[in-house]
Amino acid sequence: MSANTDFYLQAFKVNSKAINYMPKEMLTPEFYSQAFQANPEVFISAIKTKSKNLFKFPKEKLTPDLYIQAIRANPCVFKLIDSDVMTREMCLEAIKHRAYQLKYVPDHILQSVKNESKRLYSTMSEEWVAEL
C-alpha cells in the first residue's frame, strides 16, 4: 500500500465523509476492499454518505446483516441491492423506514409471504372448525 493510499484509508476511517474530497483515482475497488477489511463499519459509514457507495464494496464480503445495517443507515440503498441476495428481513427493514420500498420487494419474497399467509390461514381455519 502506498503512503498516499494509507493516508486516505486512515482519513476515511476517522471520517467517512472524507470520501467526498478524495481524488477519484484513489477510490478504486482495491481501496474499498482494504477499507472494508480494516473495519467493516466503514461500509456503513460510506452508505450513510451515499447509497451508491454500495457498488464499491466487494459483494462476496457483504452479509445479510451488513445489508440490514446499511438499510438502517440509508434506506435508499434497498433498491440497489440485488434481488437474489435480498431476504425477507431486509425487505421488512426497508419498508419499516420507507413504506414506498414495498415496490422494490422481489416477487419471490412476496410469493413466499403469500404462501405462508395461506398456510397460516388454513391452519387457523382448521383449528376454528375443530373447536365448533
The predicted-structure confidence for 56-106, as pLDDT tens digits, reads as follows 787 887 889 889 989 999 999 999 999 999 999 999 999 899 888 889 999
Q: Which pLDDT tens digit goes with each residue over 33-49?
A: 777 777 777 778 888 88
| 112 domain-assigned | no
Q: State how far the Cα of 4 lies from the Cα of 95, in Å rounded to an integer.
A: 41
Among 84, 87, 49, 96, which residue's Cα sits nearest to residue 67?
87
| 127 domain-assigned | no
| 121 domain-assigned | no
Among 118, 62, 72, 120, which residue's Cα sits nearest to residue 92?
72
**Structural domain of 77:** 3-104
Q: Which pLDDT tens digit goes with each residue over 14-39?
A: 877 787 788 888 878 788 777 777 77
Say what the pLDDT of residue 61 is: 78
| 87 domain-assigned | yes
| 125 domain-assigned | no
The pTM of this model reads 0.68
Q: State how far the Cα of 104 lies from the Cα of 83, in Å rounded to an integer.
A: 9
Cβ pair 48, 73 in contact under 8 A: yes
Number of domains in the chain: 1
| 132 domain-assigned | no
Say what the pLDDT of residue 132 is: 54
| 109 domain-assigned | no
